[in-house]
Amino acid sequence: MKKIVYFSLRNEEIPTVDAFEKEHPEFSLERIHENLTEENMDRLEGADAICVSQVQELTAAVYDAIKNSSVKVMATRSAGYDMYDVEGLIKAGVRFCSVPSYSPSSIAEFAVTSAMAINRRLPQFVSRAKQGDYRWNPELMARRLQDKTVGIAGTGRIGFEAAKMFSALGAKVIGYDLYPNPKVEEVLSYVDDFDEFLRRSDIISLHMPATKENHHLLNKESLKLLPEGAILVNTARGALVDTEALIEALDSGHLAGAALDCYEFEGSFITKEVPVEELDAAMKKILQHEKIFYTPHIAYYTDDAIASLVGVALEGIVQILNAEDCPTEVKA
């Protein structure tokens, strides 16, 4: 019987793990709630594969333990794998797989939800009502989504889903991508020039990975190109946005609001309980800002996405151990 050691098990993953065990009686699956660390690396003993979901990087001692163990496959329950030394693992003979895409419509739905919440100024109305202020303020009057242009920046799997949803709600949808996709043109029209794309986007929704080239793509200068009263939605990566410049644009009244599901330096607190005093200055400003709708990287967090993350990661292990074709394997 082949053995999989499953680290960082979360309660919401248990139904899919149970289903996997039923479907694959030829595998034994050891469940560990904690992350893989030097403290528990002895649990690698006798494992053919490990399934992980790390936020912090693994130490050199943990990598050595993996390389010197019987582990032949490591699967991460995430799309990104920049936090792992994949090259080193592959060189040592450990194959690696990830989950390139999981429930793109979950993230797209969240982008649409938060864009609509900001558009109707829900964060302001809700927080003011809680403080006894029930007035209708002309400053907070909205314009209907169907009278707006939504700019989708990055029209891949998630961007395409978001474009379909915004379009179905009656918005005019435009797109910007380094590699325009003709299929996506069914629901949006591309604008080749990024500055022009910004000038036309009443709502801009980001759906591209963070790279060296697009670091702070939304910065002091580019934010100015957005129309007066524009809304920014970021469910992609924090590094795409210069937070200080965004706060300035909100404070000056140029932008009406921002929905942020990601923050550039979220690594130290995301998925943990951390007192506000321990957060950095920009993050404190995000939380206090009335025009910012902040959420802790939960755009993906649906039952469908969790089932897909767990199922696809475990399936990758099965495929590799059974010497079958594994489309999710990361090659050197």
Q: Under rule CB under 6 A, which residues in 39-98 are in contact with ligand NAD?
A: 79
Closest distance between ligand NAD and the C-beta of residue 160, in Å? 8
In the annotation, is 216 catalytic? no
- The residue within the footprint of ligand NAD, chosen from 104, 123, 151, 311 (CB under 6 A), is 104
Q: Under rule CB under 6 A, which residues in 216-255 are in contact with ligand NAD?
A: 235-237
- The residue within the footprint of ligand NAD, chosen from 140, 190, 209, 280 (CB under 6 A), is 209
- The residue within the footprint of ligand NAD, chosen from 13, 202, 242, 261 (CB under 6 A), is 261
As a whole number of angstroms, the distance between CA 326 and CA 108 comes to 27
Catalytic residue among 161, 264, 266, 315: 266
**Is 179 a binder of ligand NAD (CB under 6 A)?**
yes
Q: Under rule CB under 6 A, which residues in 158-177 are in contact with ligand NAD?
A: 158-159, 176-177
Q: Which stretch binds ligand NAD (CB under 6 A): 101-109, 142-150, 266-274, 280-288?
A: 101-109
**Is 215 a binder of ligand NAD (CB under 6 A)?**
no
- The residue within the footprint of ligand NAD, chosen from 82, 192, 213, 228 (CB under 6 A), is 213
**Is 202 a binder of ligand NAD (CB under 6 A)?**
no
Binding-site size for ligand NAD (CB under 6 A) equals 28
Catalytic residue among 237, 264, 289, 315: 237
In the annotation, is 215 catalytic? no
Shorter beta-carbon distance to ligand NAD: residue 237 or 289: 237
Closest distance between ligand NAD and the C-beta of residue 296, in Å? 10
> What is the C-alpha radius of gyration for the chain, rounded to an integer number of angstroms?
22
As a whole number of angstroms, the distance between CA 25 and CA 203 comes to 50
- The residue within the footprint of ligand NAD, chosen from 168, 178, 274, 287 (CB under 6 A), is 178
- The residue within the footprint of ligand NAD, chosen from 123, 154, 227, 257 (CB under 6 A), is 154
As a whole number of angstroms, the distance between CA 60 and CA 63 comes to 5
In the annotation, is 199 catalytic? no
3-state secondary structure the chain: CEEEEECCCCHHHHHHHHHHHHHCCCEEEEECCCCCCCCCHHHHCCCCEEEECCCCCCCHHHHHHHHCCCCCEEEECCCCCCCCCHHHHHHCCCEEECCCCCCHHHHHHHHHHHHHHHHCCHHHHHHHHHCCCCCCCHHHCCCCHHHCEEEEECCCHHHHHHHHHHHHCCCEEEEECCCCCHHHHHCCEECCCHHHHHHHCCEEEECCCCCCCCCCCECHHHHHHCCCCEEEEECCCHHHECHHHHHHHHHCCCEEEEEECCCCCHHHCCCCCCCHHHCCHHHHHHHHCCCEEECCCCCCCCHHHHHHHHHHHHHHHHHHHCCCCCCCEECC
- The residue within the footprint of ligand NAD, chosen from 69, 155, 222, 243 (CB under 6 A), is 155
Closest distance between ligand NAD and the C-beta of residue 183, in Å? 11
Shorter beta-carbon distance to ligand NAD: residue 229 or 296: 296
How far out from the chain centre does Cα 10 lie? 18
Cβ-contact 52, 8 below 8 angstroms: yes
As a whole number of angstroms, the distance between CA 66 and CA 79 comes to 21
Q: Under rule CB under 6 A, which residues in 292-311 are in contact with ligand NAD?
A: 297, 299-300
- The residue within the footprint of ligand NAD, chosen from 37, 101, 219, 319 (CB under 6 A), is 101
List residues with catalytic annotation. Answer: 237, 266, 297
Please report, as ranges, the residues that interact with ligand NAD according to CB under 6 A.
79, 101, 104, 107, 154-159, 176-179, 207-209, 211, 213-214, 235-237, 261-262, 297, 299-300
